[in-house]
Structure 1
Amino acid sequence: MVTLSEDILHFIWKYRLYHHQHLCTVSGKSLTVLETGVHNRNAGADFLSARMRIGDMEWSGNVEIHVHASDWYAHKHQRDNAYNNVVLHVVYENDRSVNRADGTVLECLELKPLIPTPILHKYRELMSGMYWIPCEKLISTVSSLHLTQWLTRLLVERFERKVAAFYEVLNQQQGNWEETCYIWIARYFGSNVNAQAFDQLARSLPSRILAKHKDRPLAIEALFFGQAGFLENTAFEEEYPRRLQEEYHYLRKLHSLMPMDASVWKFMRVRPGNFPSIRIAQFAALCARAEHLFSAIVQTECTDELKALFEALPVNPYWLRHYRFDAASPLHSCQLGVQFIDMLLINVIAGILFAYGKYIGKEMYIYRAVRLLENLKAESNAIIKRFSKLGVGVKQASESQALLQMKAYYCDKKKCLDCGVGVQLIKHNERW
């Protein structure tokens, strides 16, 4: 049996999910709730600025909610003058009378006989932990209108969460959008395994240094591989890495650079196409072609043109037959794959547009971020596939991103009472 929590009582009070007719306080006075008040999630009473009529008098004040009336004393409210302005004590079960800190008796509403049985039943079912997501058996019954509205809100919430981290880097880069964008994209080239290493690489090699060698692709490649630590203390057999090594030796002294320790890069359990050596070659080619990445992104409105920024990169032909230096391999593509580019647009580029729009106060960039996700296909991963099996149609990346947000921050944490789906399921008992 799931233990009853104050959260569900807050929910019931907020949405008036109890029998309203002929309400009376425990003392026998008639009660009419005019306004439930503002839900307070900080210290103090649970609902602020409520209005109600108790007996013949109208009151304006706060409402405190507990599972048991005696929780008032367990929480030491009788010693806190801040609770003297509580005008109604709402409890599931009234197990004792309660006095305020000033000694006055507090009027009480007992909810236990007033709550429809299906509401608590549905809440306990959602909290039982029996399913992949709490509403697994019911999510398909939520109207498409409500689901669409909730997913739209979740998408913005996901953007907000992502841009918070982006702004941290922006602050570190003293408001330099080009440099921040450069670092942010570099991180994605490292995927989960080498994201931190790519971050370190980009920070060790500011884009202003690359700009000085924009007409010399070999110099840019040498700078990236040299700073990554891949050109240190090695006697290469093949000409291309030897040329890189020679070039980097000169550039390192010119720009007073200090290379990374190559041991930070991870090759184990990484597919060859994702080897850091390949990704560095691709990122170097991107930087060689697009000197100002951020400017190119914000000036490009068409989704296909955004994709084109990352297609047909001038990657050195050496990487057509290599995944590592001095280790020949069969012929393969050294270009970014279609899926990688789509995921880059979804997880990075859209976020950059949203962050920029919010930062400068121009909604056109926020709308472009949303529209970009609406123009891209939904991700295909285990979570999205599972939602599809539950009857949730997922076609656009905007929908899949919203569902990933819901799964991580609502379903997994059982925050059904804060979730648009959970609210609909519990509030509307005609669906049960």
Structure 2
Amino acid sequence: MSEDLLHFIWKYRLFTTQDLHTESGKTIQIFHVGNHNHDAGPDFLAARMVIDGIEWGGNVEIHLRASDWDRHRHQQDEAYNNVILHVVYEDDKDVYRADGSPPETLELKPRISAAILPRYRELMSGMWWIPCEKMIHRVPSFHLSQWLSRLLMERFEYKISAIYALLEQQRGSWEDTCYIWMARSFGFKVNADAFEQLARSLPLSVIGKHKDNPLAVEALFFGQAGMLEGEVFEDAYPQALQREYAHLRRLHSLQPMGGATWRFMRTRPGNFPTVRIAQFAALCLRSTQLFSIIANTKDIGSLETFFDELPLNHYWLGHYRFDSSSSSGGNQLGERSVDILLINAVAGIIFAYGKYIGKETYIYRAIALLEALKAEDNTVVRRFSALGIKAEQAAESQALLQMKAFYCDKKKCLDCGIGLQLIKHDE
């Protein structure tokens, strides 16, 4: 038994509630167990219950043993004077509040099912990919669906915190925020940080001044990426980029980032940063008002089209890198790449904007977008599929990624909807 588990048992009333009595013999009827408090002070706040015929409102403190009250020095802390019930696993000692009065005590040990502790131990002690790997099939599909829906909202909230931080840095400019956020997504994990650094080093306002000159925009991106510094190129295109960037660098007082920041190793040619930078430059050539396009495009098909057939320089039809020709096949964004951008960048921006201005229509649009896209194909999603949890939509795969990272990997089974169903399950 752990105190966390005891909190869990109290929160979900996983104990026999018939004929409840305090250790002093007073009857108890619980209306509300209270709100779980993760900060300083009593464990559950604003509980409501009737004790010996009198209705009480106040706090609940939980300990494994009653003597922990003294060990934690609550008898000296006036914040615990409003504890209306002391819930313990074992009542081993009489305790008193700071005002000298004893709190009513409820011992749960004889009221907890003998099956709960073994289930909890099985979850905590397993060395599986996820703690419930051998049990997750027991969870009814209805409960699983409900939990995934909640996880999707958690996923959005997790992502928009980063967007809001970026928005504050950009002084409330949604266009600049979207530009940097989209650039980061073009890094596709491996080069995400490098892409963000690139976008921060190249203001959107500078790009806007040259939006009618494709060579200038491409030179700005590749030059700021540090890919033109000190190189002696054979092909005419990179030579032209070098000349153009030398002029633009002086004009706008630009400082390029280090070229060594970019990662080519263990990356497929289609994901080379040179190709992704060319694609992102083409996207900005299509429109420097990325946020306006995203916020005002309601049709999902039109959003997908916005990333199709980008005005990519013809040089990239036969190259993955400078001075190295290949039969690249076009180097346009593939269908799966577009889906990843819509999932990781576009949906988050729409959701964040909706929350920011208080309009639920944007929130619903973000959710509808993920429900319309296919589930991601990655190691986590495939492992869940092997366990019988198959994601069909991106909404479901995003929820599974959230669960794996924030619940399974941290063994927070007591906070997980699946863990709840497994521990309380009656066989």
Instruction: Please classify the TM superposition score into its range, dividing by the shorter chain length.
Output: over 0.9
Number of residues of Structure 1 aligned to a counterpart in Structure 2: 427
Which amino acid letter does the alignment assign opposite residue 336 of structure 2? Q
RMSD over aligned CA atoms reads: 1.8
- What pairs with 1:172-321 in structure 2 (closer than 5 Å)? 172-321=169-318
Contact kept? 2:264, 2:273, Cα under 8 Å: yes
Distance (whole Å) between structure 1 residues aligned to residue 204 and residue 27 of structure 2: 72
Deviation sequence 1:151-187 (CA, Å, 0-9, x none): 1111111001101101111111111111111111111
Q: Which runs of 5+ in 1 are unaligned?
A: none
Aligned to 1:165: 162
Distance (whole Å) between structure 2 residues aligned to residue 56 and residue 297 of structure 1: 60
Which amino acid letter does the alignment assign opposite residue 257 of structure 1? L
Distance (whole Å) between structure 2 residues aligned to residue 369 and residue 6 of structure 1: 39
Distance (whole Å) between structure 2 residues aligned to residue 215 and residue 427 of structure 1: 64
Which amino acid letter does the alignment assign opposite residue 106 of structure 1? P
Q: Which runs of 5+ in 2 are unaligned?
A: none
In the alignment, does 2:415 pair up with 1:418?
yes
Which amino acid letter does the alignment assign opposite residue 375 of structure 2? A
Contact kept? 2:131, 2:408, Cα under 8 Å: yes
The SS at the match of 1:122 is: helix
Distance (whole Å) between structure 1 residues aligned to residue 32 and residue 149 of structure 2: 29
In the alignment, does 2:424 pair up with 1:427?
yes
Distance (whole Å) between structure 1 residues aligned to residue 49 and residue 256 of structure 2: 70
Which amino acid letter does the alignment assign opposite residue 339 of structure 1? R
Distance (whole Å) between structure 2 residues aligned to residue 422 and residue 309 of structure 1: 42
Deviation sequence 1:372-416 (CA, Å, 0-9, x none): 100100011121112122222310000010111111111122222
In the alignment, does 2:70 pair up with 1:73?
yes
Deviation sequence 1:101-151 (CA, Å, 0-9, x none): 222233221111111112222222222224322222332232222222211
Distance (whole Å) between structure 2 residues aligned to residue 284 and residue 299 of structure 1: 22
Distance (whole Å) between structure 1 residues aligned to residue 124 and residue 153 of structure 2: 26
The SS at the match of 2:110 is: coil
The SS at the match of 1:393 is: coil
Aligned to 1:337: 334
Aligned to 2:39: 42
Deviation sequence 1:318-345 (CA, Å, 0-9, x none): 1222222222234433111211111111
Give the alignment partner of residue 88 of structure 2, picking from 65, 68, 91: 91
The 1:327–1:42 alpha-carbon spacing in structure 2 relative to 1, beyond 3 Å, is: same
Aligned to 2:404: 407
The SS at the match of 2:123 is: helix
The SS at the match of 1:241 is: helix
Contact kept? 2:217, 2:285, Cα under 8 Å: yes
Identity over aligned pairs, percent: 64
Aligned to 1:155: 152
Distance (whole Å) between structure 1 residues aligned to residue 256 and residue 126 of structure 2: 50
The 1:209–1:54 alpha-carbon spacing in structure 2 relative to 1, beyond 3 Å, is: closer
- TM-score of the pair, normalised by structure 2: 0.95
Distance (whole Å) between structure 1 residues aligned to residue 210 and residue 58 of structure 2: 68
Distance (whole Å) between structure 2 residues aligned to residue 230 and residue 130 of structure 1: 45
Aligned to 2:103: 106
Contact kept? 2:320, 2:328, Cα under 8 Å: no
Give the alignment partner of residue 351 of structure 2, picking from 350, 354, 360: 354
The 1:49–1:282 alpha-carbon spacing in structure 2 relative to 1, beyond 3 Å, is: closer
Aligned to 2:376: 379
The 1:204–1:30 alpha-carbon spacing in structure 2 relative to 1, beyond 3 Å, is: closer
Aligned to 1:393: 390
The SS at the match of 1:209 is: helix
Distance (whole Å) between structure 2 residues aligned to residue 58 and residue 231 of structure 1: 76
The SS at the match of 2:86 is: strand
Aligned to 2:14: 17
The alpha-carbon deviation at position 57 of structure 1 amounts to 4.5
The 1:55–1:173 alpha-carbon spacing in structure 2 relative to 1, beyond 3 Å, is: closer
The 1:55–1:223 alpha-carbon spacing in structure 2 relative to 1, beyond 3 Å, is: closer
The alpha-carbon deviation at position 203 of structure 1 amounts to 1.5
The alpha-carbon deviation at position 298 of structure 1 amounts to 1.5
Distance (whole Å) between structure 2 residues aligned to residue 8 and residue 364 of structure 1: 39
Greater Cα offset, 393-402 or 56-65 = 56-65
Greater Cα offset, 37-46 or 179-188 = 37-46
Distance (whole Å) between structure 2 residues aligned to residue 203 and residue 145 of structure 1: 45
Which amino acid letter does the alignment assign opposite residue 221 of structure 2? F
The 1:59–1:210 alpha-carbon spacing in structure 2 relative to 1, beyond 3 Å, is: closer
